[in-house]
Structure 1
């Protein structure tokens, strides 16, 4: 069953990795290119984060689940919400195909 539209209140951006050329002829660098925006429901997977904090980790990964209307998404892309990047770890459609869930992590890299 699909998430009601009123619960999808987080505006997210999908970005894909690209190689950015140095204008002065230096080596290419990794950059990100805008793909699309979508509205999603955000659910923090607090158990993974709480365990890391309880164990005394100085750095930890925040795990977040996004529920949204199905669309084409690649596992190499990332999600950005309010300037915070999330690396995509898994993408799964619902059983009836009415929505998809994307599991992401943030906290250790730029996505």
Structure 2
């Protein structure tokens, strides 16, 4: 994967306890794990959605990042103010499995 394709920046978050800024109380929310991760962000075309209908019918996009251990389906991704749910485990590249990951995502209300 050429570095020029990874022109977007995304943020990975996990559910956890965060401190309320007004009261100082610990509440359920989202903790940032990785910020400004270089990625390629693409909306899926109608053809891609039809082809993915069997297993990933809710997928609305695909994000490709350099290989990074620890990306889990329980995480969410932030991009340009939108929250995306990760749809299943990330898919490694077909050659070495250690060059890049393809992550299928769906836009949704996931504010914790």
Do these two structures clear the TM 0.5 threshold for a shared fold by scoring above it?
yes
Q: If the length of structure 1 is used for normalisation, what is the TM-score?
A: 0.72
Q: CA deviation at 1:14?
A: 0.3
Pairing 1:16-35 to 2, within 5 Å after superposition = 16-20=14-18, 23=23, 29-35=27-33
Following TM superposition, where does structure 1 have runs of at least 4 consecutive aligned residues deviating by more than 2 angstroms? 19-25
Unaligned runs of 5+ in 2: 51-57
Task: Report the RMSD for the aligned CA atoms in angstroms.
Answer: 2.7
Q: CA deviation at 1:46?
A: 2.7
Unaligned runs of 5+ in 1: 52-60
What is aligned with 2:54?
A: none
- Larger-Rg structure: 1
Q: If the length of structure 2 is used for normalisation, what is the TM-score?
A: 0.72
2:60 is paired with a residue whose SS is strand
| Number of aligned residue pairs | 97
